[in-house]
Chain A
């Protein structure tokens, strides 16, 4: 090999890198930028945060007790009814009105949202944990794959809503006796929803883990003596995070709707414990005279679920590297 002839100074100048045009961006900064471009997702996420904060800190701002009966002030209409009906009984003391026992609707909405969202979040977290554990185990350990996937198929062919109804009606009494009426129902509903909704997460995670564990970086990790447990924690789980996040949002929406449906059918929380679904169900018999008592909880459920769905849509776009580049 001969010595390369020294190039002219201009050529070397032209070849020199100018340096990157923009400072390097991390993956999560990219995800965040793409997420911000999805207006619906941003609005949805904002609304979800707003609702969560409202039900968390609402009781400290609006300090009326949702259970307090005030029979003299029963059937007060919401304040906005004055706009089209001047004769309606309204009061600034009860901006959302009161129900037929004089309980303040705004306080009930806050307490109901607390219950609905708490069930939703808890059931979602539990179902994602179960789904991820089963999916990773099935994808990573070949011996477990067959039995676990058969189990998933079995759960997928269970009739969910009938079984939920059966489980909740039948196991209500012992759990109430052990954990109190509200705590028992909370545990029961969260567990039952989680047990019947982990299957999609498990399937998605298993598929991704199956593909990932054949990749070179897993082989490299294994060749330096990394244990299976460390490989899963360090190399596989971060890579399946995005499908898990997307299915978690969908799970949150399903859990909120399922809890409301159970309350609506009359098998949810005890009768003096407001949730959005129960408020809606209780208001249906008198909805001709007081449509707002159906509308307010109904709109709250629908808007929350809608915002969660939009959030999931935006997350899916943001976390998908094929879409993100564009």
Chain B
């Protein structure tokens, strides 16, 4: 198992390199010119100098190599320095001072390092997306279990219908719908997510909860629909197996049969689906962040795209790709750990 994990980890490096190369070349092919906004009165030689300053003077492959070096060598150095200097966890270690002031990936919009902006924006996204994911799992698993146990009952039919609706209604419709109902008509929740809000007492905590409910619910609806269907299908498969009949014949109570024997076996595929769904929900978060004006990394990507900020777009897209590859790996490894019948040799 360990060798398998290590092999997969090593294999994911060329995958990531290839993906980053594809993204980079796609951006290179793009006709957008970062100098397009510069006034026409600026003489061409000055424009050429500005181009050089943006790192555009080199051939694409050199640019790509520099980007790789900056992301894989310099950024970890900066991160380790920050860990040993400013954090509680590793602050007791001596300051490493690995980073010696080389040029990092610079955003064309703000002229500051891309990673710094990403680190600023990440907590908002993680809070909303992470909470939505947890809520979605907590709602969907019991629904899936119960509707499989009572197949074709009223609950099951209603559950199937609701999950179908959850599949079909896009988040950019549910979002405005919830805003109209809950913030305009009822006035319960704010329609815009205030990221500058600081939680320091009970009232501010309640406000934080209120502003998080709607984005979390919109995202959770999607995950709930997906997972409860998987859970139901997996439970149905297992409930028909012979070992369930054996367990019942032994005289085990129904609760033990369902919750221990069947549930544990049906969780195997569901857990991997849960791991595989993490990157997808980051994609969904792009729309939800746009609807509720959460300034997370999805919103950052959109603004960077409209501003033609290629380093930012490149780095953010790569972060999304990195998440996908990592969670694919986690899903594969989890599958092997949970199901001893599967041997990766």
Q: Which of B165, B177, B282, B324 interacts with A306 by CB under 8 Å? A: B165
* CB neighbours of B325 from chain A (8 A): 157
Chain A CB count within 10 A is highest, among B176, B284, B325, for B176
**Chain A: minimal CB distance from B284 (Å):** 8
B302, CB-defined interface residue at 8 Å: yes
Number of A residues near B (Cβ < 8 Å) is 44
* CB neighbours of A166 from chain B (8 A): 23, 26-27, 30, 305, 313, 317
**Residues from 199 to 248 in B contacting A, C-beta threshold 8 Å:** none
* CB neighbours of A271 from chain B (8 A): none
The contact string, 1 if C-beta is below 8 Å from chain A, for chain B 278-310, is 010011101100110000000001100110000
Q: Which of B15, B180, B290 interacts with A291 by CB under 8 Å? A: B180
How far is it, in angstroms, between the C-alpha of A310 and the C-alpha of B161 when the chains are bound? 10
Main DSSP-derived SS at the B contact region: helix
B82, CB-defined interface residue at 8 Å: no
Q: Which residue of B has the minimal Cβ distance to A165?
A: B305
Q: Which of A153, A156, A298, A303 interacts with B177 by CB under 8 Å? A: A298
Q: A158-B22, A298-B173, A309-B168 given as contacts; is B32 within 8 A of A170 (CB)?
A: yes
Stretch at the interface among A103-111, A182-190, A253-261: A253-261
Q: Which residue of A has the minimal Cβ distance to B175?
A: A284
Chain A CB count within 10 A is highest, among B15, B27, B169, for B169
Q: Which residue of A has the minimal Cβ distance to B291?
A: A284
Q: Which of B168, B184, B328 interacts with A157 by CB under 8 Å? A: B328
Task: Check B321–A265 contact: CB distance below 8 A.
Answer: no
Task: Check A165–B173 contact: CB distance below 8 A.
Answer: no
Chain A CB count within 10 A is highest, among B26, B27, B179, B283, for B283
* CB neighbours of B177 from chain A (8 A): 294-295, 298
How far is it, in angstroms, between the C-alpha of A171 and the C-alpha of B29 when the chains are bound? 9
Categorize the interface residue count of chain B. Answer: 35 or more
Main DSSP-derived SS at the A contact region: helix
B139, CB-defined interface residue at 8 Å: no
A82, CB-defined interface residue at 8 Å: no
Q: A161-B286, A165-B301, A165-B305 given as contacts; is B170 within 8 A of A261 (CB)?
A: yes
* CB neighbours of B170 from chain A (8 A): 257, 260-261, 301-302, 305
B182, CB-defined interface residue at 8 Å: no
Q: Which residue of B has the minimal Cβ distance to A250?
A: B167
How far is it, in angstroms, between the C-alpha of A313 and the C-alpha of B232 when the chains are bound? 15
**Residues from 125 to 168 in B contacting A, C-beta threshold 8 Å:** 164-165, 167-168
Task: Check B176–A162 contact: CB distance below 8 A.
Answer: no
The contact string, 1 if C-beta is below 8 Å from chain B, for chain A 275-311, is 0010011001001100100110010011101100110
Task: Check A167–B283 contact: CB distance below 8 A.
Answer: no
The contact string, 1 if C-beta is below 8 Å from chain A, for chain B 315-333, is 0110011011100100000
Task: Check B321–A159 contact: CB distance below 8 A.
Answer: yes
A270, CB-defined interface residue at 8 Å: no
B31, CB-defined interface residue at 8 Å: yes
How far is it, in angstroms, between the C-alpha of A166 and the C-alpha of B15 when the chains are bound? 20
How far is it, in angstroms, between the C-alpha of A201 and the C-alpha of B164 when the chains are bound? 21
Q: A170-B29, A303-B168 are in contact. List 4 more A-B contacts (CB 8 A).
A: A157-B15, A159-B320, A261-B172, A306-B169
- Chain A residues close to B by CB (< 8 Å): 40, 153-154, 156-163, 165-167, 169-171, 173-174, 253, 257, 260-261, 264-265, 267, 277, 280-281, 284, 287-288, 291, 294-295, 298, 301-303, 305-306, 309-310, 313
